């Protein structure tokens, strides 16, 4: 993230207007949230917009948000919900284009973006994660990449713990199916599933 260069007047106004707790939250969380939301929605630009929007909403409501046990969790939840709304709008748009008999734009290059990232060194894994449903992708990203517990993921996505466990189970099964070789000539390994 680029460091802002401010004049003395701008720095003074910033110090008077922006609470230091909000500043610290933004500096600590912005990059991680953009990365996570990028993996979930498949578009880094949309993710950056959604996270910026979530931080803007947090700033406007800082008196309440700042008193929460986990203000970053609130921002994460808002950003993910915003990304989900954008995704739904795009899906509806593609369906409308198809109903009109037009040719839709190709989907985003999510697998390539993921494999280009430091978190996904394996392009095969990135492609497999990109094939998951958005809900499955969200729980996988938050649970494995952001190292969040099931309870934290359920709070971030406004799901029950059981729903998070279900989506994790489904995602792992789908990833296993995608990533396992299906070659019938593969050697038999004793004890392999």
The domain over range 109-181 is classified in CATH as 1.10.10.10: yes
Residue ranges per structural domain of the chain: 18-106, 109-181
Task: Name the burial class of residue 5, with classes exposed (0-12), middle (13-18) and buried (19+) by CB atoms within 10 angstroms of its CB.
Answer: exposed
Nearest to 179 by CA among 139, 149, 140: 140
Q: pTM of the prediction?
A: 0.65
List the single range of 7-21, 57-71, 149-163 with lowest mean pLDDT: 7-21
The pLDDT-based confidence of 180 (bands split at 50, 70, 90) is confident
Q: How far apart are CA 99 and CA 83, in angstroms?
A: 24
For the segment 40-53, what is each residue's pLDDT rounded down to a tens digit?
Answer: 887 889 999 999 99
pLDDT, averaged across the chain: 79
Q: How far apart are CA 120 and CA 126, in angstroms?
A: 6
Nearest to 61 by CA among 49, 51, 52, 71: 71
Whether residue 108 contacts residue 119, with contact meaning beta carbons closer than 8 Å, is answered with no
The pLDDT-based confidence of 144 (bands split at 50, 70, 90) is confident
């Amino acid at each position: 993230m680029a460091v802002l260069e401010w004049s003395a007047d701008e720095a003074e106004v910033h110090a008077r207007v922006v609470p230091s707790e909000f500043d610290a939250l933004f500096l600590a969380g912005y990059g991680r949230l953009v990365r996570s939301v990028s993996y979930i929605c498949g578009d880094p630009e949309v993710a950056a917009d959604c996270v910026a929007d979530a931080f803007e909403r947090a700033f406007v409501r800082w008196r309440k948000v700042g008193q929460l046990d986990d203000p970053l969790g609130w921002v994460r939840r808002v950003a993910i919900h915003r990304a989900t709304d954008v995704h739904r709008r795009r899906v509806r748009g593609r369906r409308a284009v198809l109903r009109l008999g037009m040719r839709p734009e190709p989907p985003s290059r999510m697998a390539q973006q993921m494999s280009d990232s430091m978190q996904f060194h394996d392009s095969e894994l990135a492609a497999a994660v990109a094939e998951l449903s958005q809900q499955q992708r969200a729980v996988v990203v938050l649970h494995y990449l952001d190292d969040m517990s099931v309870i934290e993921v359920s709070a971030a996505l406004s799901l029950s713990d059981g729903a998070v466990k279900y989506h994790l189970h489904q995602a792992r099964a789908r990833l296993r199916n995608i990533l396992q070789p299906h070659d019938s000539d593969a050697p038999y390994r004793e004890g392999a599933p």
